[in-house]
């Protein structure tokens, strides 16, 4: 693309105009710009348009207004999925934040073999949600898994069959999810803790403040933005959660552990309810936007502040 520019790189003492690198730069942005405009924003609009039609197997552009949304909100499975999203979201984010922060604090206490512990805690992160789901499906297998193993140890009344119980299966998602993502939260919190001015620790030691109080009253409030970031990232993961449900519970028993992301894919790919799936997708997108817009705002403001220098 810039080959003509290469040839013209010698000083043009005749003052002839040459191919300017700024033009090459503009061209270099074309692929990414096309992707952004067409594949991100264009396709969002397209999906929205489909959600306004009666499309089933294939898109038909006969508009029915917000009928698909009315159908969606009357759909019991959708509400189960949304309710599950709320339950799973709270447990997953809460679990990741609490355990991730605790692990980060433990590691931050100046331990030996820090590298080893960090590697262990982040190990599940390198595995896919499918792998995680399959492993935990086996661990929570009521017949031969954890329940059976504990009973064999002598606790014969022990019960852990959540994965096959309609009223409990949604909680198993959080267990597997936290197991996989807690390392990411730990890494982010640890980076935040390492950023804290060491003089704070010196000062608090001089003042004789107990360590837990320093963490609770001084360090944690200083980590506001890290908590904020972790919350946003985990929310984004929760709302996209698809693979894990598929592999762990398959949305079941019945639809008891279904999530909106799975609802959408299922209706678009398998159920020939394109319009309804598109409506679900669009509602999901609105939920995501509602959660992340403060974050985007924050990032861009940081950016603008940075450019002032």
- Of 165, 219, 173, whose CA–CA distance to 194 is shortest? 219
**DSSP of 29-78, one letter per residue?**
THHHHHIIIIIIIIHHHHHHHHHTB--SSS----B-TTHHHHHHHT-HHH
Q: Report, in Å, the least distance between residue 65 CB and other proteins.
A: 20
Among 67, 71, 87, 146, binds other proteins (CB under 8 A): 146
Nearer to other proteins, 46 or 66 (CB): 46
Q: Give the chain's radius of gyration (CA, Å).
A: 26
Nearer to other proteins, 42 or 254 (CB): 42
Q: Applying CB under 8 A, does 134 fall inside the site for other proteins?
A: yes
Q: Report, in Å, the least distance between residue 180 CB and other proteins.
A: 10
- CA–CA distances in Å: residue 175 to residues 74, 132, 248: 30, 11, 11
Q: Which two tokens stand for residue 244?
A: 């894990």
Among 87, 139, 164, 222, binds other proteins (CB under 8 A): 139
Report d(CA 198, CA 220) in Å as an integer.
15
Total residues interacting with other proteins, rule: CB under 8 A:
107
- Of 289, 301, 248, 267, whose CA–CA distance to 88 is shortest? 248
Q: Which two tokens stand for residue 46?
A: 């397209």
Report d(CA 172, CA 71) in Å as an integer.
30
Site for other proteins in 160-219 (CB under 8 A): 179, 182-184, 187-188, 191
Q: What angle do CA 186, 118, 111 make, to 5 degrees?
A: 100
Site for other proteins in 2-41 (CB under 8 A): 2, 5-6, 9-13, 15, 17-18, 20-22, 24-26, 28-29, 31-33, 35-37, 39-41
Site for other proteins in 272-291 (CB under 8 A): 274, 277-278, 281-282, 284-285, 288
Q: Report, in Å, the least distance between residue 67 CB and other proteins.
A: 18
Among 70, 90, 98, 123, binds other proteins (CB under 8 A): 123
Report d(CA 254, CA 252) in Å as an integer.
4
Q: Is 6 exposed, middle or buried (0-12, 13-18, 19+ CB in 10 A)?
A: exposed
Site for other proteins in 217-276 (CB under 8 A): 229, 233, 236-237, 239-240, 242-243, 246-247, 250, 261, 264-265, 268-269, 274
Nearer to other proteins, 128 or 225 (CB): 128
- Of 136, 159, 134, 164, whose CA–CA distance to 149 is shortest? 159
Site for other proteins in 56-75 (CB under 8 A): 59
Nearer to other proteins, 91 or 188 (CB): 188
Q: CB under 8 A: which stretch of 65-73, 83-91, 132-140, 166-174 binds other proteins?
A: 132-140
Q: Applying CB under 8 A, does 91 fall inside the site for other proteins?
A: no
């Amino acid at each position: 693309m810039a080959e003509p520019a290469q040839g013209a790189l010698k000083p043009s003492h005749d003052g002839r105009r040459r191919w300017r690198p700024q033009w090459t730069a503009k061209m270099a942005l074309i692929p990414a710009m096309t992707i952004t405009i067409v594949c991100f924003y264009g396709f969002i609009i397209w999906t929205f348009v489909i959600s306004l039609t009666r499309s089933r197997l294939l898109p038909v552009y006969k508009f029915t207004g917000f009928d698909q949304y009315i159908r969606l909100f009357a759909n019991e499975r959708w509400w189960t999925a949304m309710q599950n999203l709320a339950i799973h979201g709270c447990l997953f984010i809460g679990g990741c934040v609490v355990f991730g922060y605790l692990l980060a604090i433990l590691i931050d206490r100046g331990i030996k073999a820090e590298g080893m512990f960090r590697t262990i805690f982040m190990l599940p992160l390198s595995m896919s949600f499918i792998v995680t789901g399959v492993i935990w499906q086996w661990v929570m297998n009521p017949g031969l898994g954890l329940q059976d193993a504990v009973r064999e140890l002598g606790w014969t009344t022990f019960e852990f069959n959540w994965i096959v119980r309609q009223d409990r299966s949604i909680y198993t998602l959080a267990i597997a999810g936290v197991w996989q993502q807690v390392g990411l939260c730990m890494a982010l919190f640890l980076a935040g803790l390492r950023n804290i001015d060491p003089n704070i620790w010196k000062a608090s030691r001089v003042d004789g403040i107990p360590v837990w109080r320093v963490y609770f009253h001084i360090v944690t409030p200083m980590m506001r933005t890290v908590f904020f970031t972790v919350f946003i990232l985990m929310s984004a993961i929760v709302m996209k959660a698809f693979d894990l449900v598929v592999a762990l519970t398959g949305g079941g028993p019945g639809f008891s552990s279904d999530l909106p992301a799975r609802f959408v894919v299922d209706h678009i790919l398998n159920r020939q309810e394109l319009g309804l799936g598109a409506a679900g997708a669009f509602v999901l997108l609105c939920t995501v936007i509602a959660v992340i817009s403060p974050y985007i705002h924050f990032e861009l403001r940081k950016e603008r502040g940075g450019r002032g220098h």
